[in-house]
Structure 1
Amino acid sequence: MGSRRVKLHRELAKLLEGEMCIKGTSIPPWKGLADDARDHEMVWPPMVVIMNTMTSTIQDGKFVGMGNQELLEHFSSYPALKAQHSYGPQGHRGLSVLIFEKSAVGYLEAERLHKNFLEQRLGRSAWNSCTNEVLPGGERQLYGFMALKEDLDVFNQHCQGKSKIKFELKSYQEAVLNEIKKMRENRRALERKRTKALERSVNNLSRNLQQKMEDIRIFEKRVQSLHEENKEEIESQESFYKDQIKILEARVKELDEKLQEFGANAAYRGTCTGHGRPNGKL
């Protein structure tokens, strides 16, 4: 981002100079930022110095101050890995540090704490100009700022062995900016990967949907075809049964007529043989 701004700045300067020359006016050349202007050495791992952590209590002739866990709990909203205090011949020196993770994320968290101290006017300058370490209510106001090499040299002044803070100096560009750049590139690569996976999923769903729609269309066509076939068969059977009924009705009618005719003939024959003569006389 920085190098890109420098390039755009120089291009803008050339354009403006050209415009002014056209109008008969010249302007002095402008100088942009050096490519390494934003880089500087920093303490690694990231640390925040916390000042005024000593109390007014004296035990065994030495000053007492906050403990490691107490300091971590006091700043629990900032994910520091551990806390450490500086001790001298007179005990607790009121000088402590919060040590953060060796990563760009750890640096950003330490920087967030540093900025919050600045916003509340409790940073390095405020501590250097502090004349009263104890507030009117008896509380001690804590101050904090990003640790520099000079701060840690003072911290280690009376420390020996494990109590001595180990650190190194690293390029801000190398330790933080490059890592942030890698994180962004990884995030973009992950987003591209997720986008491609989503596109494949959508394409697969689209193909499946199209196939389902085609299957439904074929099924509906088949149902319609079966319906037409069944309809023709039903109509054919219905016509057949109607014809059979007509035939049966005709036969019944024919038999009925024959029965009626047979009955009439039988009555006539009975009359002719005398069964129907009155009183049995001729």
Structure 2
Amino acid sequence: MLKHRSSKDVQDTHDLVMHTYYSDDASSRVHHLGLHKALCVLMGWNFSKAPDHSKAYQNLPAEVAAVNQDQLIIWPPHVIVHNTSTGKGKEGRMEGFGNKRMDNRVRELGLTGGKPKSLYGRDGGHLGITLFKFAGDDSGIRDAMRMAEYFEKTNRGRKSWARVQPPIPSKDDEKHHSLVEVDGRTGEKKRILYGYLATITDLDKVDSETKKKTTIESLREFTGSK
């Protein structure tokens, strides 16, 4: 076994992985191993292979790394919904759907259980993102997955959003058939919503308050026993 490294010796991510895996502090062993796994998943490395100085554990197929990352979710569960801005207002700031309007939109889709929170930037402009927070229990994860599965099955999930996402939200979005659709009955233009279950890779998309009030949990722990 490799010699335990002090936290003072940590200079990069590899050193941190080594420290968390080989820590001999019995009182925090479980927490260290949890951090080791989270770091490896976040970096796309193999957490099941003992780390060493050859760094062989860093070799993991991209598709396997992606699956591992998808399994570490923000808890309580959240669904991130995109394309909720409506263009610039009179003052030049981006405007978008508020919480009540987003709640009504998802109810129209037959989806319930989540509490919406529209996100705004430092300038007060709408970011085009709404978070739906679900209860931190079995019913909450079921409702969150149901919403995420709805978007995925209608080709409006994570990968679809990555393909159609505009560099900067603008009024011109209305000309993009993948972002705005016209109601055949009323002629009303409607934003096409895209969404997916929030994972560890989405921490940069959520607001600071959400980061403080959430943890990272393994989706397998909740779905594996069902």
- TM normalised by structure 2 equals 0.53
Is the partner of 2:206 in helix, strand or coil?
helix
Task: Evaluate the alpha carbon distance shift between residue 128 and residue 166 of structure 1 in structure 2; reply closer, same or farther with a 3 A threshold.
Answer: same
Larger strand fraction of residues: 2
CA contact (8 A) 2:71 2:199 kept: no
* 1:157-177 Cα distance to aligned partner (Å, 9 max, x none): xx5xx5766311112344454
Compare 119-128 and 146-155 and name the one that shifted more.
146-155
CA contact (8 A) 2:71 2:219 kept: yes
Counterpart CA distance in 2 for 1:115 and 1:40 is 15
Partner residue in 1 for 2:115: 82
1:148 aligns with 2:199: yes
Is the partner of 1:108 in helix, strand or coil?
helix
Is the partner of 1:139 in helix, strand or coil?
strand
CA contact (8 A) 2:87 2:94 kept: yes
1:44 aligns with 2:75: yes
Q: Which has the higher contact order (CA 8 A, sep 6+)?
A: 2
2:138 counterpart (104, 107, 115): 104
Using the TM superposition, give the Cα deviation of residue 136 of structure 1 relative to its aligned residue in structure 2, in angstroms.
5.8
* 1:66-101 Cα distance to aligned partner (Å, 9 max, x none): 111111121123333411121113400101111111
AA in 2 matched with 1:128: A
Partner residue in 1 for 2:153: 119
1:70 counterpart (78, 82, 101): 101
Larger helix fraction of residues: 1
Using the TM superposition, give the Cα deviation of residue 149 of structure 1 relative to its aligned residue in structure 2, in angstroms.
2.5
CA contact (8 A) 1:79 1:100 kept: no
* Alignment of structure 1 residues 53-64 onto 2, 5 Å: 53-64=84-95
Q: Which has the larger radius of gyration?
A: 1
Partner residue in 2 for 1:198: none
Is the partner of 2:156 in helix, strand or coil?
coil
Using the TM superposition, give the Cα deviation of residue 104 of structure 1 relative to its aligned residue in structure 2, in angstroms.
1.6
Task: Evaluate the alpha carbon distance shift between residue 154 and residue 58 of structure 1 in structure 2; reply closer, same or farther with a 3 A threshold.
Answer: same
CA contact (8 A) 2:117 2:132 kept: yes
2:180 counterpart (112, 135, 143): 135
Gaps of 5+ in 2: 1-67, 167-175, 183-188
RMSD: 2.6
* 1:173-223 Cα distance to aligned partner (Å, 9 max, x none): 444545x4xxxxxxxxxxxxxxxxxxxxxxxxxxxxxxxxxxxxxxxxxxx
Using the TM superposition, give the Cα deviation of residue 144 of structure 1 relative to its aligned residue in structure 2, in angstroms.
0.8
Counterpart CA distance in 1 for 2:154 and 2:210 is 31
- Structure 1 stretches of 4+ moved >6 Å: none
Using the TM superposition, give the Cα deviation of residue 134 of structure 1 relative to its aligned residue in structure 2, in angstroms.
3.9
Is the partner of 1:129 in helix, strand or coil?
helix
CA contact (8 A) 1:152 1:165 kept: no
Task: Evaluate the alpha carbon distance shift between residue 141 and residue 96 of structure 1 in structure 2; reply closer, same or farther with a 3 A threshold.
Answer: same
AA in 2 matched with 1:56: G
Identity of aligned residues (%): 28
Number of paired residues? 138
Counterpart CA distance in 2 for 1:118 and 1:136 is 18
* Alignment of structure 1 residues 252-271 onto 2, 5 Å: none
Compare 168-177 and 55-64 and name the one that shifted more.
168-177
AA in 2 matched with 1:89: R
Using the TM superposition, give the Cα deviation of residue 110 of structure 1 relative to its aligned residue in structure 2, in angstroms.
1.0
* 1:120-165 Cα distance to aligned partner (Å, 9 max, x none): 1111111111153643644321111111223232222xx5xx5766
1:93 aligns with 2:127: yes
1:171 counterpart (194, 204, 218): 218
AA in 1 matched with 2:95: V
